[in-house]
Amino acid sequence: MAQAVLWPKKTFFYPIGNTSPISLTQDLPPDIPADILLLGCGDPRNILHTLHSDLRCGTSLRRLDITCCDIESAILARNILLYTLLVDARVDNDETWNIFYHFYLDDASIQRLWDQCSRLVKASQSLESWQNSPYSSFIRMCTAHTLQALHNQWALYLNTKSMSEGERARMKKKFRCETEAIAQRKDFVGPCWSAGPFWANFQDVATEHFKSYWYTGMMTSETRSPSLPHLNPTFVYSLMGDTFNVHYATNPIRAFHLAACYPSVTSGSSGTGPPTLESVIRAAKSQFFQWSQAFRDAVTGGTIVLRFFNGDALAFCNALQELRRSGTTLTSVGVSYWIGTRIHFHDEYSLSSSRPAPSCYNVIDTSNLSDHLGDMNILAGTVPLLREDQFSALRTQTLLSTSSGRSLHRSFVERFCGDVSTLSLLLGVAPVSYIARYATHYTPQYSVKSIVPDSSPSEAEGDLIWKRTDLAFSPSDRRHPRLVVDPQELSRYLFGVYLKMFVHEMSMEGTGLPSPEHMGMTSGFFYARPSFVAILKVMKDKVETNWNVTMEQLFDLIAADKKLFTGLNFYQDLCSELHHQGVYSVETLSSYVSIESAHGIFRHWVDSIPPLVCLALKIPRANLDRVPDDIGTPVLQLELRSPAAHFHNSFSFLQLIFGTLSIDGDPKDPSFTITQDPLRWSGVSDLILTLWIPAWILCVSPKTTEVMFSFRSTPSNKFITKLQQNLGFLLIIFKTKLLDDRHVFFSRRNPSFSDTCPTSSTLSLKQAEVPSATYDDRPFFIKASLNPDSVSTLSIRTDVVDTNAREALLKGHGVTATQKTSCQVEFQFDGFCHSVAFPYPIDGAKIKLRIARKSHYIEVCAPISNPKVLDSLSFNYVPVPMLQVPWLWTMHYLSLSPLPVININGNLEWIRQHISLIFSERECRLRDLPAAQRDDSLLAVKDTFFTLIFASAGIDIPREHIVCLMDEDTNLPEIVIFLRHLRLDLTSHTVVVDCFVLPFTKGVDWAWEVLDRKSMLIIKTHSAEIRAWKQMLPAITECCRTWRHTNNCEYLTRGIPASLEISETPLCSCGLGHGASSYFKDSGLDKRLCNYVTAAAISPFFALSFLESMGRSQIRCAAQDCSKTEGLKRCARCRVISYCSAVCQKSDWKRHKAVCKKE
């Protein structure tokens, strides 16, 4: 665990999701089994929807192994209750729906709930009893602690059956008072983003349902007082006990795809005008029952396994990492900061298991934990768990809006503490949309925020998909490149990350006081020094450098820093955690403390004293009672202070346990045991704090040293005045002397984590050796040159080992380099040819070669491509790497058949508004120019897609079913698109063209004569766009593939695309004709054509608001992070964009010159 420890006395219960479901397998090819980790898993909607919408090859279901982690045991208990109800019922019924979504239940539903809980309580007596239950075939427990927590939860539900009528009535009355109070509030509703493009149209319905739901406790259009007799116990019990704690913004309709029920939008829908609450609830229920049947089918087919872990998400990640390093199921990691039980995995996680559970994953979804834990903590915890293959994907999400007055781009950079490209290289994963400059998912929140920047803050959902970069761009080479970085350059970069991670501690220059600009930033609630250590630990495994020198220079910078006003207070905290995690040991922690130099607390100890010892502090319950209730979630810390010795150290890596502490063993080697109080906050036990602390500090001045348990004082905490009234100016909860043997204890061992002070080892990277007759790339190193804030260049050295090639170099033959793809460079000389692949897109215009003719090596150097300069993937905007099977890197997979077909006879004005959002403000201005002046192939593709949508729907132009892309230079047809349907991509909140594509080749010349007689829309395009479309065809056919590639697939021998030449197809032949016969028969087209077409799905490419301004907003200064609208002057060369000053124009020139063309 690396995040800051927060005071958690008030946490909300989220029994029902607040966003529409996603497909968890949208980034995996359909024939790849999925091992999925869900952190902060929430309710089951994503799992159920995935099973219903998953793309299949043929009729076979994909194998899914899904691990669900949530700190709230009530969420997991409700989910398993639902899963088992669905399987036991075998058919859809209203009772299951009622139990999961309604606050109040009728007699039949409550009895059904009690009966099911009775079965679950009996099955969950022990791991052995669960293994013997019928549910173990598809539901597994990660730990015994998890099963016990779930057993307790189901027992609470069941115990309501034996309550007296009076007890139930009192509980129900108290619950109703809370819910009816919330029903009166209008500010809790929030935008209805689940409706995608129609979010504004659903706002009234969402408000109406919110009021109805909270007043009646049911998903109904009724507003009368509820008459159902029973309170649903699954909404009553949570981490906070038996008190009302359901989050005040819960609105169940937001957990469904509402766009599907918009009147007159989808084929088969009836009615006009705005949606009604009755129709929305009916559609939600229909979706739920469809998902339920898909779940039953998966369980019956034996293709799904669900695993559950109850505990902290980052703790679970750390435990999995330790499991992978050590191979032992008993880890040193506690379940959470507030539960000391060590994570002990089930035997299925052992190396000897006959059916081992996964400990690394090809899909990791983190929900919106970024809003609660911080993106850097999420990356540090999850990146080491990503499977080391090309398919792996990590999804992060935020639901919080940007701070008022901050640009989306600036907020994006701040989330990742600096340059995103550099962070991606050092971690080995990158957000694909950031590199590609587009996303195939529509995010209405960002569009609204970017077009109306002064709009009030609200939820602002945004997803990022992170994928591996070291394999993605050189899949034929199975080795993992090691990034070589100069220690001094790396230390400067890491220091920059350090300052940005703790920017909330930034002081005003020359004052030492907190900076008003930074004190309100949320990083203070996310990050502690262990967070920084966690990032360093991941980078240490990825980077090749002199690590000791790097850390020495980093510590020099930290020690000399004057910007962070509490930086030195946490210096020992940083040293302790670095040593604890095995990342680095400063001199004071590199050896044991001798008995001779120790005194005071160690006076009875024998043998040497370890560098770190475990301190335990017993905090009386009475001191906790002094803390007022409504104080938010301030950050906790332990302080050691000695005015006499002039030191004041703060520590943040705390383990907190309610219970009793007993001293064991001999005073010469003391240890202690903590008996945990299961009642925790509701009990009367003291709070026991433990942490690892440098032993030498305890020897400095033990008689004058004070130990303090306190809140961190942050000026941004709006409750600070209230806290100071109760706790004093320093916010001290409990204070005592270091030598107070009634409250302060020490040991070599930690009672909550492990038997000995833990040290960390790291997994070694196993690099496969791929021989080459001419070149020796072993070991595979890529040198990175860093500026203080970012990577400037990458270079790859290739040793020439072939005798003839060496002689050619010695004779002085010229070497030429050509960029072949966004990441691949080919160099040639005297008939010899070799390619090198970089782990990140490069700027091909600035490639340099270093040729050592006598030393027999060639080094290729190039700067990395900056997405803001608009050239990241200019060679191929939709790359489809190939290894075993093709896979998509920038697009998502989708199954077309479950998607609603848009009613093209309805009101389609919404399509015009929606599709216009694919263009950024820059692209809107370029579209006003003549085509010859645009010189942007991605924009040209977007324009053509814009026309395809309008042709399919009959907007502004006659409706057409056939579109031909024709090369305007040769006047020859290149690609014909047969438009089948226009569908709603519910998960991505957008539209998708369901079609067949026919690339014209020499073998189908006859087809033009057949098609020329048909009504057809001809779009004339320039050769660069035709090339872009040919590169895109493998992606748009792969994304909806329902067939398997054969052993004779052309992609295996010719690459992807198979060809970009005129009259040659870029596609393989594996998918020809699949699913086409009925369409061509019904359309009256020549049936011979179906043997030459491939099914495709064309999705729009949305501009990214965190890279560019969106829409046709007021003309602003074009420089990044400048939004001035006055005193602008146009660029004298292109006359397209404007700047407020010469300074802004100069700062933006690197980006702008790539597209600046003389008027």
606 and 565 in a single domain? The answer is: no
Instruction: Give, as one character, the DSSP assignment of residue 902.
Output: B
Residue 957 lies inside a defined structural domain of this protein:
yes
Residue at a domain's end among 545, 572, 589:
589
Ramachandran angles phi, psi of 688, nearest 5°:
-105, 125
Residues 308, 82: Cα–Cα separation, whole Å: 14
Choose among 112, 78, 75: nearest CA to 96: 112
Q: How confident is the model at residue 1158 (pLDDT cuts 50, 70, 90)?
A: low
Q: How confident is the model at residue 63 (pLDDT cuts 50, 70, 90)?
A: very high
The pLDDT of 177-201, averaged and rounded, is 84
Instruction: Give, as one character, the DSSP assignment of residue 575.
Output: H
The pLDDT of 748-758, averaged and rounded, is 54
1002 and 969 in a single domain? The answer is: yes
With beta carbons less than 8 A apart as the criterion, state whether 390 and 881 touch: yes
Choose among 327, 346, 9: nearest CA to 148: 346
The pLDDT of 443-460, averaged and rounded, is 52
Q: Taking the CB of residue 796, how many other CB atoms lie within 10 A of it?
A: 20
With beta carbons less than 8 A apart as the criterion, state whether 446 and 408 touch: yes
Residues 1145, 1156: Cα–Cα separation, whole Å: 12
The pLDDT of 214-225, averaged and rounded, is 83
With beta carbons less than 8 A apart as the criterion, state whether 1099 and 992 touch: yes
For the chain, first and last CA: distance in Å?
A: 57
Q: Helix (H, G, I), strand (E, B), or coil: what is residue 639? A: strand
Q: What is the percent of the chain with per-residue pLDDT over 70, rounded to a whole number? A: 89
248 contacts: CB under 8 Å, gap ≥ 6: 12, 182, 185, 188
Residues 425, 1027: Cα–Cα separation, whole Å: 29
When mean pLDDT is compared over 186-190, 348-352, 748-752, 1145-1149, the highest value belongs to: 348-352
Residue 956 lies inside a defined structural domain of this protein:
yes
pLDDT for res 926: 85
The burial class, CB within 10 Å (0-12 / 13-18 / 19+), for 377 is buried
How is residue 1142 written in tokens?
């010469």
The burial class, CB within 10 Å (0-12 / 13-18 / 19+), for 643 is exposed
With beta carbons less than 8 A apart as the criterion, state whether 20 and 256 touch: yes
More confident: 117 or 517: 117
609 contacts: CB under 8 Å, gap ≥ 6: 592, 593, 594, 595, 598, 602, 695
Residues 605, 400: Cα–Cα separation, whole Å: 52
**Does the pLDDT of residue 484 top 80, yes or no?**
yes
**Interval 874-896: pLDDT, tens:** 678 888 888 778 989 999 999 99
**Does the pLDDT of residue 769 top 50, yes or no?**
no
749 and 677 in a single domain? The answer is: yes
Residue at a domain's end among 806, 840, 863:
863
**Does the pLDDT of residue 389 top 90, yes or no?**
no
Q: What is the biggest distance separating any 2 CA atoms in the chain, rounded to whole angstroms?
A: 100
pLDDT for res 774: 46
Give the Cα-Cα-Cα angle 1111, 1113, 1114 (nearest 5 degrees).
160
627 and 706 in a single domain? The answer is: yes
How is residue 425 written in tokens?
């290289």
Residue 284 lies inside a defined structural domain of this protein:
no
With beta carbons less than 8 A apart as the criterion, state whether 209 and 148 touch: no
pLDDT for res 265: 75
Residue at a domain's end among 589, 619, 637:
589
Residues 868, 861: Cα–Cα separation, whole Å: 21
With beta carbons less than 8 A apart as the criterion, state whether 619 and 725 touch: no
963 and 1088 in a single domain? The answer is: yes
Residues 307, 348: Cα–Cα separation, whole Å: 11
DSSP string over 200-248: TTTHHHHHHHHHHHHHHSSSSS--SPP--SEE-GGGT-BTTBSS--B-T
Residue 535 lies inside a defined structural domain of this protein:
yes
Q: How confident is the model at residue 871 (pLDDT cuts 50, 70, 90)?
A: low
With beta carbons less than 8 A apart as the criterion, state whether 1129 and 1104 touch: no
Q: How confident is the model at residue 869 (pLDDT cuts 50, 70, 90)?
A: low
Rounded alpha-carbon distances, angstroms, from residue 475 to 1, 820, 879, 1128: 33, 15, 12, 47
DSSP string over 783-824: EEEE-SSSEEEEEEEEEE--HHHHHHHHTT---EEEE-SSSE
As beta bridge partners, residue 952 has: none
Q: Helix (H, G, I), strand (E, B), or coil: what is residue 26? A: coil
Task: For residue 757, give the amino acid letter.
Answer: C
Ramachandran angles phi, psi of 572, nearest 5°:
-70, -30
pLDDT for res 759: 36
More confident: 719 or 1052: 1052
pLDDT for res 778: 47
1036 and 1122 in a single domain? The answer is: no
The pLDDT of 728-751, averaged and rounded, is 93
The pLDDT of 376-383, averaged and rounded, is 97
Choose among 507, 1011, 486, 1094: nearest CA to 787: 486
Strand 706-711 with 744-747, pairing: unpaired
As beta bridge partners, residue 973 has: 966
Q: How far is CA 53 from the centre of its chain?
A: 21
Residues 143, 343: Cα–Cα separation, whole Å: 7
**Does the pLDDT of residue 909 top 70, yes or no?**
yes
**Interval 231-258: pLDDT, tens:** 999 999 998 888 889 999 999 999 999 9
638 and 787 in a single domain? The answer is: no
Residue 144 lies inside a defined structural domain of this protein:
no
548 and 667 in a single domain? The answer is: no
Question: What is the chain's percent helix, strand, coil content, to nearest 5?
Answer: 35, 20, 45
The burial class, CB within 10 Å (0-12 / 13-18 / 19+), for 935 is middle
More confident: 608 or 701: 701
Q: How confident is the model at residue 753 (pLDDT cuts 50, 70, 90)?
A: very low
708 and 817 in a single domain? The answer is: no
Q: How far is CA 136 from the centre of its chain?
A: 30
Residues 1135, 1157: Cα–Cα separation, whole Å: 9
Residue 997 lies inside a defined structural domain of this protein:
yes
Q: What is the percent of the chain with per-residue pLDDT over 90, rounded to a whole number? A: 58
**Does the pLDDT of residue 936 top 90, yes or no?**
no
**Does the pLDDT of residue 497 top 90, yes or no?**
yes
* CATH at 791: 2.60.40.790
Residue 89 lies inside a defined structural domain of this protein:
no
Query: Mean pLDDT in the chain?
Result: 87
Rounded alpha-carbon distances, angstroms, from residue 1008 to 415, 665, 749, 974: 53, 90, 80, 10
Q: How many domains does the chain have?
A: 5
Residues 481, 490: Cα–Cα separation, whole Å: 18
723 and 643 in a single domain? The answer is: yes
**Does the pLDDT of residue 764 top 60, yes or no?**
no
pLDDT for res 284: 94
Rounded alpha-carbon distances, angstroms, from residue 273 to 196, 533, 906, 983: 17, 56, 11, 20
**Does the pLDDT of residue 913 top 70, yes or no?**
yes
The pLDDT of 1039-1059, averaged and rounded, is 94
Q: How confident is the model at residue 801 (pLDDT cuts 50, 70, 90)?
A: confident
pLDDT for res 470: 65
Residues 1009, 1031: Cα–Cα separation, whole Å: 26
pLDDT for res 524: 59
**Interval 547-564: pLDDT, tens:** 999 999 999 999 999 899
**Does the pLDDT of residue 128 top 90, yes or no?**
yes
**Does the pLDDT of residue 1136 top 70, yes or no?**
no
Residue 62 lies inside a defined structural domain of this protein:
no
Q: How far is CA 910 from the centre of its chain?
A: 30
**Does the pLDDT of residue 2 top 90, yes or no?**
no
Ramachandran angles phi, psi of 837, nearest 5°:
-120, 130
The pLDDT of 1089-1114, averaged and rounded, is 86
Residues 407, 1113: Cα–Cα separation, whole Å: 14
1086 and 1125 in a single domain? The answer is: no
929 and 1078 in a single domain? The answer is: yes
Choose among 1096, 1109, 1061, 1068: nearest CA to 948: 1096
Residues 763, 198: Cα–Cα separation, whole Å: 48
Q: Which of 24-28, 275-279, 932-936 has the lowest mean pLDDT?
A: 932-936
**Interval 287-330: pLDDT, tens:** 999 999 999 999 999 999 999 999 999 999 999 999 999 999 99
Q: How confident is the model at residue 89 (pLDDT cuts 50, 70, 90)?
A: confident
Q: Which domain holds residue 575?
A: 481-502+517-589
User: Which residue in the block uniquely carries the two structure tokens 């050189």?
Assistant: 474
